[in-house]
Every structure is written in structure tokens, then in C-alpha cells.
Amino acid sequence: MTRVIHTGDTHIGYRQYHSSARRQDFLAAFEAVVSDAIESDVAAVVHAGDLFHDRRPDLPDLLGTLSALRRLEDAGIPFLAIVGNHESTRHGQWLDLFERLGLATRLDDSPTVVGDVAFYGLDHVPPSQRDDLEYAFDSYGAEHAALVAHGLFEPFAYADWDTETVLAESDVDFDAMLLGDNHEPGQTTVRDTWVTYPGSTERASASEREGRGYNLITFADEVDVRRRAIETRPFVYVDVELRDGEGARRVREQLGQHDLTDAVVIVEITGSGEPVTPAAIEEAATENGALIARVTDRREIETDADLDVSFADPDEAVRERLSDLDPSPAAVDIDDTVRSETVADSAVRSAVTERIETRLDAGDLGAATSQEIDPEGVDVEDADAEDSGDGDAVDAGDGDVSGEGQASMGEFR
């Protein structure tokens, strides 16, 4: 029997709402997972990508992460991980540095055996490069096998990666796929294989209302997946439906019914009623102890355009708008290229031109369906361009798929 913690999407370094306190919260959530791992004496901590929020973590975040990894090393608990889209760079990865320091193992197409489980890794691969993948993995000498991967896999929300294809074409008969990228937890079976997300360890978006946590997975006669919660910064959601004649006073009354101490307060206004000034509501919340307050007024506003203004979460507004527009795969590909920090500003024009020409040659400029849109993948970082400016940009990756034939897993390392 082998027990491991499956976590991911820790997004260390995210200065959400431009708040230093929120930035520390993301590191604290990761530290809580490490503490649970040591207390529970698990065989390994398996991280499914996006350890950091972006490619350039600041020194305090790096030092905090190193300290947490040293605690695991001192406890004899290996840290097994892959690279997600938020942290991926064209050349060396932070995970490679941690591996050289003896604090982590970067999973790949060769097995890393812990107990009676062989773990394999599949870093995030952009959709445009997945057709060139060969799911070729080395053989293993363990009772169980698990694939750790980062992406939006079917049948979960916003999926753009065919799980059945991965399992059918793989050289290894996996007992479980331990996934990252989707911030909401979930589990199911595909081709008799457990497929599970642990969810993020902190709320990276106001839309992530459910509590945060990780998976505790036991490999025995059968695979057992259980969810464990961790204590994080409280988010208080105040949903107010205004009637005719009601306004800011009614919203303040609703705020008064909640304990706002040290919380992130998200106010959503619907219905009709009088105009409400978000700044006044936010000030009232902070005066009552809130760390941060944001107001979303979802009522229709008479303008020349049909807009739904969100003061709380620009990410959500962008995702909803993209979903309404239903862009083609080519448009999504171009957006990925423009947002990617692996493409230099001076090279954006040529990179976009090259991708358009490739799609023209392939005849792949048809309209997309709504299933091909990834609202979670268009993440403008809660307007936090100061820290990350890439949104949830799909990394161009290190793999070179321009040549003939298909690329193996290792070529995307």
C-alpha cells in the first residue's frame, strides 16, 4: 500500500487584488499541504503543475518554497512534480533547479517508483502541439502506475484534451491520472482508470467559492481517492438582489449580517433598484474588518453597448465575454501567442504569421464550438498585470514539432 498527497495549482507568488497579504496566503496554503504530508507520513507529495503563479517568482516566494521543500526532504518525503502553463519557460524550469538541489523530482516518461507505484509526468503541452505527441512511456517494475499531467482533460469542464486518447495510446496501463490546471476538484473513471483533480489550494478567482484542499490517494488492491480540506483565507460572498427603490443602504444592511473580519468580501448585486457606488460599499466592508472588498454589479446598465460590469473579478468578465464571442481555434491560438511570455515582443508578429500560415496550409480555420473554448484558460490575473502580464497564456513550450514525424514526451521537456 502506498499513500500520497496529490496537489497542484498552488500559484505561489500570486499578488491577488494587489494585496501583499493575499500573496502570502498562497505560500501559506502550500506550507499547509507540506505540514499535512509530514504529519500524515505520506510516501510522497505529487504536484500536478503551476507551483508558481508565473515564470518570474520573486525572491521571498522562492525562499519560502525552498524552505517548505527542505521540510519535506528532512522528513524523507519526496516531492514529485511537473511543469504547468503558468510557470513554464522556454529553457530551464525552476523545478529543474529544485531537482539539482535534491529537493524535487521532475517527472517525465521514465518511471519514478515510490513504494509500489511508478509515477510518470506530462508537462503542459499547448493544444496546437498535441497532435504530434506520442504517449510513449518506459516500462516499470511496480504494482501500480500513475500519470501526472497538467491540462483540461475530458470529461471535466472546459476540456480540450481527450483523456481516452491518452489512455488508449499510452504504452503504460495507468491506474490513475493525477491532474492539475482545473481549479475545481473532481474525480471520475475513464477506461477503468481514476482521473482526478485536487483543485487549487487557494482561491485564484472570486468564482471559486468552494473550500480548498488536496487529494489523499491510496494505492492498494484498488485506488482510493479522498479529499482533504485545508484552512485558507475566508471569502465572504454577499449576494444582494435589489428591488425598486432599494440601493446602497440595503447592500450595507446585508454586509452587516456577516462576519467580515480579515476576509475577502465579494459583493454581487442583481435585481433592479437604485444605482450603487462600488467604492462606497467596499469602504463600508473594510471599515467592518474586511481585508479586501470587491463589488460586482450585474444589473443591466444603459450604454451604447451591452456590458456586464464587474468590479470584483475582471478575470470572470473576460472569460464570460470570450465564451459569448465563441472564437475559432485560430483566434484562440493567436491569443495564446500574443499573451505568451516565451515569445518576445519583437517576435510576436512573425509568430502570429507563422501560426496563421500553418493553419491555412492545414485548412484549419473553421469556426469553433463552445466546447473548444477554455474560459478558465483566459486568466487575466484579476487585473494583476504588475505580477504576471501573461494571463493564462499557453506556453509555446520547449518542444520542436516542426520536423517530420511525431514527438515523444521527452521532447517537450
Q: Are 236 and 266 in contact (CB under 8 A)?
A: yes
Residue 228, CA distances (Å) to 44, 93, 127 in order: 16, 29, 31
Distance of alpha carbon 338 from its chain centroid, rounded? 20
50 is in an annotated binding site: yes
The count of other CB atoms within 10 Å of the CB of residue 168 is 11
Distance of alpha carbon 336 from its chain centroid, rounded? 16
| Residue 86 falls in the annotated catalytic set | yes
Note if the bond before 155 is cis, omega within 30 degrees.
yes
d(C-alpha 105, C-alpha 138), whole Å: 17
Residue 293, CA distances (Å) to 53, 206, 236, 238, 279 in order: 22, 11, 9, 10, 9
d(C-alpha 215, C-alpha 37), whole Å: 11
Residue 61 in grid coordinates: 516566494
**Annotated catalytic residue: which of 6, 47, 53, 86?**
86
3-state secondary structure of 168: helix
11 is in an annotated binding site: yes
d(C-alpha 296, C-alpha 312), whole Å: 5
Residue 401 in grid coordinates: 514539432
d(C-alpha 22, C-alpha 206), whole Å: 13
Q: Are 287 and 265 in contact (CB under 8 A)?
A: no
150 is in an annotated binding site: yes
Residue 1 in grid coordinates: 500500500
3-state secondary structure of 327: coil
Strands (E), 151-243: 176-180, 186-190, 193-197, 213-219, 223-229, 235-242
85 is in an annotated binding site: yes
Residue 186 in grid coordinates: 473532481
Residue written as grid cell 514539432: 401
d(C-alpha 253, C-alpha 266), whole Å: 15
53 is in an annotated binding site: no
Annotated binding-site positions for Mn(2+): 9, 11, 50, 85, 150, 183
Annotated binding-site positions: 9, 11, 50, 85, 150, 183
Q: Which residues are catalytic?
A: 86
